[in-house]
Amino acid sequence: MSTLIADRYRLEGRLGSGGMSTVHLAFDERLERLVAVKLLAEHLADDPAFVSRFQREALAAARLIHENIVQVFDSGLDPDTDQHFIVMEYIEGQSGAEILRARGWLPAEEALPIIVACCAGLDYAHRKGVVHRDVKPGNILRANDLRVKLADFGIAKATEQSSITQAGSVLGTAAYLAPEQGRGEEAGPPADIYALGVVTYQMLSGRLPFEGKSLTELALKQQGERPPPLHTLVSGVSPALASAVDVALRLEPHLRYPTALDMGRALEDGARGIRPGAGAAIVPPLPGEFGDDTDATVVAGRGRSATVAAAGATTRISRPREPREPRAAPPRREATRRPAQRPQHGRRPPPPPQGDRPPHDNARLFAVLAGIVAVVVVAVIIILSLGGSSGTVSLPFSHYSQHAQTAVQQMQQTVDDNQQ
């Protein structure tokens, strides 16, 4: 006989289990629909801390209504079984963990829509003051119709409420923990961005960026090593996309993407070959990126420029633009020109040597001289017709020199001789 929870939800089969709870497929007899029911583990029901955490999960998740977040319908304590429960929408499909177990890795064109959808869901939750704190492939669901939902805010907490984590305790799966979570520090939105960066790296390459047998070993690798760039592991990943994933995996929280939405934009840009910082997403610069050792961070601006705060000073910086295709160069001329020399200030450039006069200048001079000779001949004829004493005109053409100045003098002398 099947179990009935809250006199309404009939359990039909187990969907999965974790350290805190077990998830069952159930039928809502009142609304006649399939739902997923999460039951708190029996051995934890007597622990007030776990019960409180379980109840906070229901309250936090119930505030989130988004197309990329599994919706919570109901929660409470079943009086008959004395079990705490949460009722959620049922997603018929596969989790990210099941996809990776079956296929190992996904090509970028299939993995990125999943991650970008998770970015949208996380951004909504963060704006509502809720941090997931347990982002991993098992909590990412892809429906058969390819809808993507982020599930199981099982250890989420409202950021405006007091912490429910005791000092030194760490929650979540170790491989996806942000460095600050490994140090026992407060987990904020940057921790979710880091975890989603790990999921992205794993989906694209089939391996984790850091692997360790213990939390201490994992933390040491995070502090002292950098994961192999994705484009060196997977031929289908471009350097721009690899860089976009690397920003989410930065050690310091303030150097990661300021919002999950910026991460999604950067991944989409990276798939198109646009490096982080050259597209629409805000990407905090690394220390020393602007020529000094100041720990600079982008604090405002979503356009082509951003405001950077560094050591108490605020500077406006421009984003690097996307490189354009080189323009075609104009066709080269066969004859090369000598570069013109600028004359010195206050001095005229020296005239070119006479012996270097080009041939076309000599031809022009001869044409001028021929015109002068014609004018002189006409003048002489006019003078003789007006009563000159002599009936002949002597034009000693053989005495003309090719030099312009000598030719002019000779022609002037001829005119003077014919006037006498």
Question: For residue 169, which amino acid is it?
Answer: S
Q: Does the annotation count 134 as an active-site position?
A: yes
- Residue 111 DSSP SS3: helix
Q: Is 389 left (phi over 0), alpha (psi -120 to 50) or beta?
A: alpha
Written as one string, the DSSP assignment of 310-362 is: ETTEEEEEEPPPPPPPPPPPPPPPSSPPPPPPPPPTT-PPPPPPGGG--HHHH
Give me the catalytic one of 134, 152, 246, 269.
Answer: 134
Rounded Cα distance between 54 and 3, Å, is: 21
Rounded Cα distance between 197 and 262, Å, is: 12
Question: For residue 38, which amino acid is it?
Answer: K
For the CA atoms of 392, 393, 396, 397, the dihedral, rounded to the nearest 10 degrees, stands at -120
Neighbour order of strands in the sheet with 297-300? 297-300, 305-310, 313-318
Contact 129, 158 (CB under 8 A): yes
> Where does 41-147 show beta strands of DSSP type E?
72-78, 83-89, 93-95, 130-131, 140-143
Structure tokens at 48: 């007030």
Structure tokens at 175: 């491989």
For the chain, how many residues are written? 420
Which one, of 101, 103, 150, lies nearest residue 122 by Cα?
150
Q: Which residues does the annotation mark as catalytic?
A: 134
